[in-house]
Amino acid sequence: MKDQSIYSGFPQDDERALDSMLRPRVFAEFVGRPNTVENLKTWIQGARLRGESLDHILFSGPPGLGKTTLAYIIANELEVSIKPTSGPALTRPRDLVGLLTNLRTGDILFIDEIHRLDVRVEEYLYTAMEDFFVSIIVDSGVHGRSIKIDLKRYTLIGATTREGLLSPPLRSRFQIMERLDFYTPEELKRILLKSAGVLGIEINDESAELIAGRSRGTPRIANRLLRRIRDVAQAGGSSTVTVQTAREGLRRVGVDKMGLSEMDRRILQVLARNSGRPVGLKTIAAVVGEQEDTIEDVYEPFLIRQGLLERTARGRAATAEGLQVVRNHLEGEEKGSAQGELF
Ligand SMILES: Nc1ncnc2c1ncn2[C@@H]1O[C@H](COP(=O)(O)OP(=O)(O)OP(=O)(O)O)[C@@H](O)[C@H]1O
Ligand SMILES: [Mg+2]
């Protein structure tokens, strides 16, 4: 069974432990993003010199590019504690107030998926971020009154994969905004070489380049592919990843030469059946058996960047190149040479 989610940038259940094992702890271990790293170091140093807490930071960008990693690195460099939570986990205002009132000066509150905060909870953040207090209502009915609770000067770090969904009042309260973008194959190669070291396997430059080229600019995907390929090497009784093992591993997870996964090809096939005329997202989702959100956030961006798919007013359409990819694949399968040719 080919793994259809091999290219999901979101962490998979069994991957969290691996993520934390491979996660850089200090800036020196964080590969790439030189501008972001330089900026953050400067703001950290400034805050330290002034003896103040760091300004609130918002990290945005696609999944798996290092937002959580950076939040932890910042806490580490500042030698403060970090309290992690997420938008969907904070269902009631009192959950947030509880976290806020327990923060000490300089501590970091990390809210992942901050675009998914409930509005009632979000409203408490406005004063909490700007003026470091929250007003809570005690007693209800006619005796209801609000009391003001002062907070220590903490730092909020928010992370979001959907910056566009953040409300303007919330967004405007972040003094620092850093957008993370996809990594270059060269940067991914460096990450792979380092991860191989942590995982206790040998990998040569050529194999690392091969895997980097199929990782869609995403460190989490690069590490995921490496782990599957390590299994192939170890099953063959070796702790060395050769180009051959790398190819075999990629073939097993269904990734082809173009870096397309099984799910990408199925999406293109649905569009091809309609001869390139637009198909609605709902229909695509139903036919391929995947959620609309996932198709939009995970698969489409790559297909669009590769010039294989277009978003039109009436739905999604395969481009001429996209249709060609489907034809090539079908021909490959007919010849029975899919594996040799495509991978
Ligand atoms: N710059 C980097 N250098 C080395 N490894 C990295 C880098 N960025 C990310 N990684 C690796 O990728 C994994 C995923 O990164 P991280 O969890 O920080 O992503 P994220 O942007 O928070 O994703 P999500 O949106 O899913 O929360 C990390 O565990 C780490 O192993
Ligand atoms: Mg994260």
Please give the distance of CA 66 from its chain centroid, rounded to a whole number: 7
Is the C-beta atom of 62 inside 6 A of ligand 1? no
Q: Which residues surround ligand 2, an ion (CB under 5 A)?
A: 68
Fold classification of 185-252 is: Helicase, Ruva Protein; domain 3 (1.10.8)
Pairing type for strands 57-60 and 155-160 reads: parallel
Active site residues: 67-68, 112, 161, 220
pLDDT at position 336: 60
C-alpha 266 – ligand 2 centre gap (Å):
28
CA distance 342 to 196: 26
Is the C-beta atom of 30 inside 6 A of ligand 1? yes
Fold classification of 262-342 is: Arc Repressor Mutant, subunit A (1.10.10)
pLDDT at position 341: 47
Is the C-beta atom of 68 inside 6 A of ligand 1? yes
Which residue, judged by its Cα, is nearest atom 29 of ligand 1? 19
Positive or negative, the CA dihedral 213, 219, 225, 226 is positive
C-alpha 219 – ligand 1 centre gap (Å):
6
Is the C-beta atom of 64 inside 6 A of ligand 1? yes
Which residue, judged by its Cα, is nearest atom 13 of ligand 1? 220
Ranges for all domains in the chain classified under CATH 1.10.8.60: 185-252
If one counts every other C-beta atom within 10 angstroms of the C-beta of residue 290, the result is 19
CA distance 167 to 172: 9
- Helix, strand, coil percent values for the chain (each to nearest 5): 55, 15, 30
What DSSP state is assigned to residue 19?
H
CB-CB contact of 303 with 268 (8 Å): yes
CATH class of residue range 33-179:
alpha beta
Is the C-beta atom of 332 inside 6 A of ligand 1? no
pLDDT string in tens for the chain (343-residue length): 344 478 887 777 777 777 778 999 999 999 999 999 999 999 999 999 998 999 999 999 988 999 999 999 999 999 999 999 999 999 999 999 999 999 999 999 999 999 999 999 999 999 999 999 999 888 777 778 889 999 999 999 999 998 999 999 999 999 999 999 999 999 999 999 999 999 999 999 999 999 999 999 999 999 999 999 999 999 988 889 999 999 999 999 989 888 899 999 999 999 999 887 899 999 999 999 999 988 988 899 889 999 999 999 899 999 999 999 999 988 877 776 544 445 4
Is the C-beta atom of 84 inside 6 A of ligand 1? no
**DSSP-derived 3-state class of residue 309:** strand
Ranges for all domains in the chain classified under CATH 1.10.10.10: 262-342
C-alpha 308 – ligand 2 centre gap (Å):
28
Ranges for all domains in the chain classified under CATH 3.40.50.300: 33-179
Smallest-distance ligand from the CA of 32: 1
If one counts every other C-beta atom within 10 angstroms of the C-beta of residue 88, the result is 11
pLDDT at position 139: 77
How many CA atoms, within 13 angstroms, populate the side-chain half-sphere of residue 24?
Answer: 23
- Cβ-based neighbours of 247, under 8 Å, separated by 6 or more: 210, 343
C-alpha 192 – ligand 2 centre gap (Å):
19
